[in-house]
């Protein structure tokens, strides 16, 4: 058995006394070619060499003992290049599983070795270094994934607690401000306090919406009910309740149920309708029709519209086309980011088309629930 060790600076040679006739010739070739060569005459010695110093390749005659040795080496984390040296007759006379243990089987001849060994060694080393990189990358990916998972748990806990913890004190401050308002003389201070609580309220509302939309539990939803529910909710929270009367649902008759999270879909519809009412004065349409195995839902307004170079950015968190928008229209620039997140969790995409001065159309698709199996 011959063990090639290209990396050691001090050559260590163990003499093999195996029966293979070609052993001397091979060893001579390897030494002439500048390899550091160790030889071993049995499996015990060979194992000790490999365990003592990492080697790059092991060359062995095709015998049962070598097969057992290669099998052991294959269990290593980074086994060396394993090569059987054998003629065709020997290859044919042994079990295929033996030859399968080696990376290559070549004739025990200096000419063949010269042709193949350097290239095989080169490939093997490249392969090893690639494997090492993959292992390192996998470890780093696992670490990153653990971090992301932990962050997600933390984020969910924060979002849920914050909205819960903020709502009660906010309500108390709001009531106090409105009570004080009856006696206070400084109107400016009162307006300041009212605006501040309104802004806080918007943020808490958004966090609450985000919190309730983190867990998506899809179930069959009747769209007509979902639109009605969103409209009623909006009417409850909108300052100018009557504005919600501008909403015109135009849903195709006999629409099949869609698969969606009830709370999530309601949040999406409320946020889109909220914007449509806010940024327009005419009627706001909610359209739905079946297209193949999805239902396309459209919220359309005939309001101020959005310039084409802004259409991407409006889905970013805290983005508002007009920086004075918060003051003029209210809002905080997170509604569409939440819409995007919820629909992304439904594996669907929100699209927008808009013409400044003419209006905007937001649309998305939801899968139809297959009721064929239901009696
Ligand atoms: P906001 O709370 O400010 O409405 P959104 O994330 O919902 O936040 O929307 C981001 C911005 O996109 C809005 O501030 C507005 O500039 C623009 N926008 C959204 N919907 C419409 C719409 N229907 N018409 C005109 N502009 C819109």
Looking up tokens 């030494």 gives 31
Closest to 46 (Cα-Cα) out of 104, 103, 105, 2: 2
Closest to 7 (Cα-Cα) out of 155, 166, 121: 121
How far is ligand 1, taken at its centre, from the CA of residue 219, in Å?
Answer: 29
Pairing of strands 284-291, 359-367: unpaired
Nearest CA to ligand 1 atom 21: 275
Cα–Cα distance, 256 to 339 (Å, whole number): 23
- Residue of 205, 314, 326, 329 to test ligand 1 pocket, by largest number of atoms within 8 Å of CB: 314
Which run of H or E residues covers position 135? helix 110-180
Ordered per-residue pLDDT tens for the chain, 375 residues: 666 665 554 334 344 446 667 788 888 888 888 888 888 888 888 888 888 888 888 988 888 888 899 999 999 888 888 988 888 888 888 888 888 999 999 888 888 888 888 899 889 889 988 998 999 999 999 999 999 888 878 777 777 777 778 888 888 888 888 888 777 777 788 888 888 888 888 778 777 777 766 778 899 999 999 999 999 888 887 666 778 889 999 999 989 999 999 989 999 999 999 999 999 999 999 999 999 999 999 999 999 999 998 888 888 766 666 665 555 556 666 788 889 889 988 999 999 999 999 999 999 999 998 766 554
Spatial CB neighbours of 312, under 8 Å, sequence gap ≥ 6: none
Pairing of strands 36-39, 57-61: unpaired
Pairing of strands 284-291, 294-301: antiparallel
Cα–Cα distance, 43 to 70 (Å, whole number): 10
């Amino acid at each position: 058995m011959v063990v090639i060790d290209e990396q050691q600076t001090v050559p260590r040679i163990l003499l093999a006394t195996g029966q293979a006739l070609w052993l001397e010739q091979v060893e001579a070739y390897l030494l002439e070619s500048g390899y550091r060569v160790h030889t071993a005459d049995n499996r015990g010695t060979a194992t000790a060499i490999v365990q003592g110093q990492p080697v790059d390749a092991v060359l062995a005659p095709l015998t049962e003992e070598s097969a057992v040795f290669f099998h052991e080496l294959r269990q290593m984390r980074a086994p060396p290049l394993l090569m059987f040296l054998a003629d065709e007759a020997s290859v044919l006379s042994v079990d295929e599983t033996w030859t399968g243990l080696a990376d290559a089987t070549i004739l025990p001849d200096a000419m063949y070795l010269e042709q193949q060994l350097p290239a095989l060694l080169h490939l093997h080393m490249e392969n090893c270094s690639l494997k090492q990189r993959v292992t390192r990358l996998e470890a780093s990916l696992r670490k990153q994934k653990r971090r992301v998972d932990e962050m997600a748990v933390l984020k969910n806990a924060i979002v849920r607690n914050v909205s819960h913890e903020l709502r009660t004190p906010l309500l108390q401050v709001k009531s106090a401000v409105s009570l004080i308002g009856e006696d206070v003389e400084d109107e400016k201070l009162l307006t300041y306090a009212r605006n501040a609580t309104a802004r806080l309220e918007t943020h808490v509302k958004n966090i609450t919406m985000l919190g309730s939309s983190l867990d998506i539990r899809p179930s069959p939803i009747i769209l007509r009910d979902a639109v009605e529910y969103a409209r009623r909710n909006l009417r409850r929270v909108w300052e100018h309740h009557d504005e919600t009367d501008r909403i015109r649902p135009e849903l195709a008759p006999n629409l099949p149920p869609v698969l969606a999270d009830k709370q999530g879909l309601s949040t999406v519809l409320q946020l889109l309708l909220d914007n449509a009412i806010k940024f327009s004065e005419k009627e706001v349409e909610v359209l739905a029709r079946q297209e193949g195995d999805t239902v396309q839902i459209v919220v359309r307004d005939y309001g101020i519209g959005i310039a084409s170079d802004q259409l991407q950015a409006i889905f970013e968190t805290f983005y508002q086309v007009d920086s004075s928008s918060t003051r003029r229209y209210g809002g905080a620039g997170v509604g569409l980011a939440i819409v995007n997140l919820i629909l992304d969790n439904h594996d669907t995409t929100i699209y927008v088309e808009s013409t400044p001065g003419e209006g905007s159309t937001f649309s998305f698709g939801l899968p139809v629930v297959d009721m064929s199996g239901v009696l």
